[in-house]
Structure formats: structure tokens, C-alpha cells
């Protein structure tokens, strides 16, 4: 079987990769285990130096890596270059902070000496998606490697070029041979990899069904999982919000990465008294966005990842309109090659429509009207997802209280769109998954938090 990278802007095959056999995969995992056994005793200073070199290479090669991302999955080039730079940031964060985060923590008890120490657990499998093909991997790899673990990557089939480039990046930075390896395999081999006794834990970013399948298999073997899954992020807009600032943030959050992000702004829930003005401003800003080949111009949107995903999104839009949503903008598949879909705005969206109930993984904004603040919050929480959420109001004290205690999500922002930051924990609740990435909480996920008690 082969894996294909296909340029979503024109449908042309970029490269074909032969899938590794089960024996080849097992051999790589064995070699990663050998590398881990040596790496786990290394000093933080050695790990940090390598991670800082990786950060430097990411910045040096950002144009090269950006072009590769844009070519394989259609991300606008400027956003792809920014992604490479953000990966450098996460490498630097853990290079500079891992040793202090993982330093033994003394605890006063009736013992002569008692403390908690943090030890690596072994080789961790990462099952990663195509939408942020470098960032999703580096935000896992930097803390995992700095903690003293080994890592194997099963990347999305359509971004094998990115997967192999990341493996080479770490090799060039001086990481021990085989400590981080890419498995060129399809989804059908993941179960066998999880069954390998060398694999001690699994992290997955992807769809809720994929997360359920991986969690079920890993759970049957008592292997830990961290899951970052889908989202239907609500943005609550209160009557006193600064609408110019709010709409700017909402549209930026909706269209980043051509709307293909788990934490993209997906449902705009606006109180009725400002509905008309909000709709007008959203329509005005969304109409101004440009779409085209990400490698040939400075467009706001590139193509979606593939035609099948584009067509699925269009079906969700069409079904929402059939159920009573108003189509204010877009909603028409372009008569041109590639997996393009225009900026689209749906109004009068209510529960029971795909635009409310499902994740729309593309450049479609759904406007939902609430009678008042209480109903807006209730509608925001009326979802099976719980990854990100935001609230917009000039009363920042009220906004903070809503974000901190009333919105049901793992990441809640006030007067800004949701995004990840190496210094802050990232993850969701409900069908958006469990566990956390980034910050100190992310590095704790794949260590043995060990109690030591000395009488």
C-alpha cells in the first residue's frame, strides 16, 4: 500500500510513499527503545542544547518548511511560515523551563525526607493530524523529549513530507539517532503499534471517532492516552461588546488555517439587541477576504485539505439552509480546480442544524441569536464539544467571571479569539478529549510522578 501527498490547490500528486511493513515498524520501535534507554539518563543541559538547536533550525528553514506545509495541505504561505516560527517558540520554552518544572518537589511529612520526582516513562506514540502538520507534532515532541522519553510519530497520510522533515530536523539538531522516528503507515496499522509492549502511552489529535478508537485500544492495555479532539467553539457576544474589535477577532478566529482548526471560532452567539449590526460587520469583513493558491499570492484562504472534506462541508451548509438558516455569503462551490470553498456566513442558525450541532471544519461562520446573556451562555454550552470558547464584553470583570466559571470548555478567552500558547495548558472536555498539552501540565502527562519516602 502507498500513501500519497496531493496538492489540494490543483489535485496533483506531489509524492507517493511506500507504507512500511509490520516488521519495519517493529524494528524502528525497537531502535527507538534502545535510544530511549540511553537518553533517559542524559542531563537536562544536553537535552536543552539540542532543543535550542532545533529551534534555530526551524527559524532558519521557516520558508522551506512553510512551503512544504502549504504544498501538502493548502495552508496560506504566511500562516505556514508563522507555524514554523511558533514551533521554534515551543522548543525554546521547554529547553528553558523543563529542568525547573521537573525538578524534585520536597513535601513535608513525618518522614526524614519525602519528595516527588518526575521520571520518563518510555517510548510514546503520537498520532497527529494534517491541519497544523508541524505545530501539532512539535508541541508534543518538545516536552516529551525534554522529559527523557523517546517518540514515534504516525502522521496523517497526506503530510508525509512534513513528517519526514521533522524527523530530519531533530537529527540535524543532534538528537540521538532513532530517538524520534516517523512511521510511514496508514491508520490500519495504528492498533498494532499500540499493542507493541515498548509503547507506553499514546497522544492523539484528531476527530472524536479516531480518539474513541485509540482510547479504547490503549485502555484495554492500560496505556495512558492524551486526546485533543474536535470542537464547536462558541463565541458569546454581549450587548456591550466593542463590535469592531469583536468582529475582527471572530473572523480571524474563524478563517485561520482556512477554518480548519479544532479551536476555530465556529458558533457566534449574539444577543438579539445587536444582531443586525453584528451581522452587517461580519458580512463586511468576511466579504473582504481573498482566496487562492497559497503559493502564488498573499491570500487569506487557501484550499481545504481535499475535495472530500470540501464537499462534506458544503453538505452541512446546504442541510442547514434547508432547515431554515439564511445564507448571507458564499455557500457555492467554485467552478475551478482544487478543494476551494469560499468564506461563508449563515444566519438564524438554531439547534437541530448541522451548523449548530456539528463541527464545521472550514471557512463557515454560523450566527446564532440569543434573547439575552443567560440564553447566550446556555446556547454556548449546548454542545457535546468543549475545547475552546470566548466571550466579548466591555465589562471585563463580568467577561472573566463567565469565562472562568460558566463556559464549559478547556480554554476560555475574553475579548480575543482562542489560540494555543506554550506557556498555557491546552486541551478540552466532553467529546473534545482529555489531558493537557503545553505548559507544565503538558510535560507532566508523560512522566512517572513518583513519590519517594525516606524514614
The residues annotated as belonging to the active site are 228, 262
**Angle at which helices 62-73 and 44-60 cross, to 10°:** 70
CA distances in angstroms from 231 to 146, 194, 206, 207, 368, listed in the order given = 29, 25, 10, 9, 17
The two beta strands, 150-154 and 180-182, are parallel
The grid cell for 43 is 542531563
Q: How big is the CA angle at 40 (ends 38 and 44), to the nearest 5 degrees?
A: 115
CA distance 52 to 72: 27
Handedness of CA 309, 310, 315, 320 (dihedral sign): positive
160-173 helix and 44-60 helix, angle to the nearest 10 degrees = 130
Amino acid at each position: 500500500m502507498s500513501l500519497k501527498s496531493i496538492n489540494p490547490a490543483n489535485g496533483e500528486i506531489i509524492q507517493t510513499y511506500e507504507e512500511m511493513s509490520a516488521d519495519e515498524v517493529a524494528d524502528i520501535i525497537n531502535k527507538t527503545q534502545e535510544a530511549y534507554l540511553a537518553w533517559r539518563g542524559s542531563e537536562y543541559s544536553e537535552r536543552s542544547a539540542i532543543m535550542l538547536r532545533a529551534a534555530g533550525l526551524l527559524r532558519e528553514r521557516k520558508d522551506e518548511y512553510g512551503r512544504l506545509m502549504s504544498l501538502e495541505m493548502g495552508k496560506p504561505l504566511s500562516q505556514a511560515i508563522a507555524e514554523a516560527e511558533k514551533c521554534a517558540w515551543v522548543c525554546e520554552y521547554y529547553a528553558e523551563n523543563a529542568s525547573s518544572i521537573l525538578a524534585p518537589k520536597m513535601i513535608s511529612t513525618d518522614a526524614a525526607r519525602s519528595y516527588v520526582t518526575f521520571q520518563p516513562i518510555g517510548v510514546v506514540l503520537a498520532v497527529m493530524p494534517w491541519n497544523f502538520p508541524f505545530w501539532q507534532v512539535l508541541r508534543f515532541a518538545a516536552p516529551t523529549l525534554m522529559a527523557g522519553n523517546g517518540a514515534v510519530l504516525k502522521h496523517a497520510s497526506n503530510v508525509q513530507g512534513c513528517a519526514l522533515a521533522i524527523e530530519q530536523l531533530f537529527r540535524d539538531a543532534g538528537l540521538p539517532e532513532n530517538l524520534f522516528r516517523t512511521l510511514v503507515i496508514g491508520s490500519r496499522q495504528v492498533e498494532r503499534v499500540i499493542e507493541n509492549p515498548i509503547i507506553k502511552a499514546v497522544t492523539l489529535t484528531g476527530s472524536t471517532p479516531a480518539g474513541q478508537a485509540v482510547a479504547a485500544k490503549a485502555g484495554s492495555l492500560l496505556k495512558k492516552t492524551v486526546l485533543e479532539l474536535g470542537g464547536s467553539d462558541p463565541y458569546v457576544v454581549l450587548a456591550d461588546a466593542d463590535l469592531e474589535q469583536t468582529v475582527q477577532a471572530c473572523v480571524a478566529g474563524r478563517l485561520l488555517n482556512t477554518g480548519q482548526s479544532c479551536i476555530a471560532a465556529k458558533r457566534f452567539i449574539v444577543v438579539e439587541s445587536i444582531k443586525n449590526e453584528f451581522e452587517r460587520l461580519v458580512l463586511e469583513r468576511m466579504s473582504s477576504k481573498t482566496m487562492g493558491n497559497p503559493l502564488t499570492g498573499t491570500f487569506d484562504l487557501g484550499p481545504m485539505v481535499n475535495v472530500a472534506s470540501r464537499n462534506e462541508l458544503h453538505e452541512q451548509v446546504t442541510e442547514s439552509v434547508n432547515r431554515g438558516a439564511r445564507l448571507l455569503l458564499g455557500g457555492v462551490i467554485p467552478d475551478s480546480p482544487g478543494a476551494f470553498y469560499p468564506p461563508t456566513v449563515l444566519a438564524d442558525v438554531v439547534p437541530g442544524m448541522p451548523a449548530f450541532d456539528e463541527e464545521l471544519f472550514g471557512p463557515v461562520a454560523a450566527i446564532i441569536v440569543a434573547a439575552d446573556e443567560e440564553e447566550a451562555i446556555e446556547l454556548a454550552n449546548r454542545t457535546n464539544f468543549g475545547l475552546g470558547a470566548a466571550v466579548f464584553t466591555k465589562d471585563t470583570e463580568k467577561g472573566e467571571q463567565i469565562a472562568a466559571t460558566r463556559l464549559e470548555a478547556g480554554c476560555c478567552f475574553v475579548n480575543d479569539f482562542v489560540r494555543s500558547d506554550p506557556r498555557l495548558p491546552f486541551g478540552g472536555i466532553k467529546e473534545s478529549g482529555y489531558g493537557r498539552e503545553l505548559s507544565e501540565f503538558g510535560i507532566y502527562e508523560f512522566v512517572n510522578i513518583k513519590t519517594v519516602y525516606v524514614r
